[in-house]
Chain A
Amino acid sequence: QVHLQESGPGLVKPSGTLSLTCAASGASIGSDPWWSWVRQPPGKGLEWIGEVYPGESPNYNPSLKSRVAISVDESKKQLSLEVNSVTVADTAVYYCARGSEYSWHHWGQGTLVTVSS
């Protein structure tokens, strides 16, 4: 059974960097395709951030591409997300998700990140 768990600071200051990790059990972040980050501002809809395939360069949402980096640490079996130059608009629940068949079959529980001074 696949279990995903996001972790990271719940509070980030404006203009700072948001950093999250996702740990997976029951699946291999280093070899299973593919892994994504999705976010959801409070009370709003879902927004895809980006994805990574093993051995390939990540793909990002064009609206976030200049500020986002997604990577995989195979030794730690972790997926990582960094968003720099954050503003209050980046306040959201951030989910990691495992993809297959152009959709996401497994999701983490999500972690709320608030951007505030």
Chain B
Amino acid sequence: EIVLTQSPGTLSLSPGERATLSCKASQSVNSRDLAWYQQKPGQAPRLLIYGASRRATGIPDRFSGSGSGTDLTLTISRLEPEDFAVYYCQLYGSSPPMYTFGQGTKLEIK
């Protein structure tokens, strides 16, 4: 089973700054199988990025996903007040079918 490790655990930034969130896999992954979610308190996760770099419907272009192999990244180019939340990466594995999540990165206002 592939393990996803997200870093940092907590990221403290100010609105307008750039956020870079890391998701490291324990072995090389297919970028097609990697997604990123945003979750605010009391709400369901919201899909931001799928296929490592494809924005989901309605997601602003300040959110971007990149990376390959074992190192995947979510970048928020200019933080808006509504972007402060917890972010999870998620991986699909096919043998057997299995979905795993990273432990999350909390993005908080500095």
Which A residues are closer than 8 A to B by beta carbons? Answer: 36, 38, 45-48, 51, 59, 61-62, 95, 101-105, 107-110
Contact B51 A101 (CB under 8 A): yes
Residue in A51, A62, A103, A109 whose beta carbon sits within 8 Å of that of B44 in the complex = A109
Contacts A48-B98, A61-B98 known; A103 to B47 CB distance under 8 Å? Answer: yes
Contact A59 B103 (CB under 8 A): no
Contact B104 A45 (CB under 8 A): yes
Contact A102 B101 (CB under 8 A): no
CA distance A110 to B43 in the complex (A): 8
CA distance A107 to B56 in the complex (A): 13
Tell me how far the C-beta of B98 lies from the nearest C-beta in chain A, rounded to whole angstroms: 7
B16 within 8 A of A: no
Give the size category of B's interface with A. Answer: 20 to 34
Known contacts A47-B101, A102-B92, A104-B35; 6 further A-B pairs (Cβ under 8 A): A46-B101, A51-B99, A61-B98, A62-B98, A103-B51, A103-B92
Contact pattern, B 48-91, Cβ under 8 Å of A = 1, otherwise 0: 00110010110000000000000000000000000000001010
Residues of A with C-beta under 8 A to B100: 48
CA distance A102 to B54 in the complex (A): 12
Tell me how far the C-beta of A24 lies from the nearest C-beta in chain B, rounded to whole angstroms: 14
20 pairs, A vs B, C-beta closer than 8 Å: A46-B90, A48-B100, A48-B101, A51-B99, A61-B98, A61-B99, A95-B45, A101-B32, A102-B32, A102-B35, A102-B51, A102-B92, A103-B50, A103-B51, A103-B90, A104-B35, A105-B56, A105-B57, A107-B44, A107-B46
Contact B47 A104 (CB under 8 A): yes
CA distance A110 to B41 in the complex (A): 12
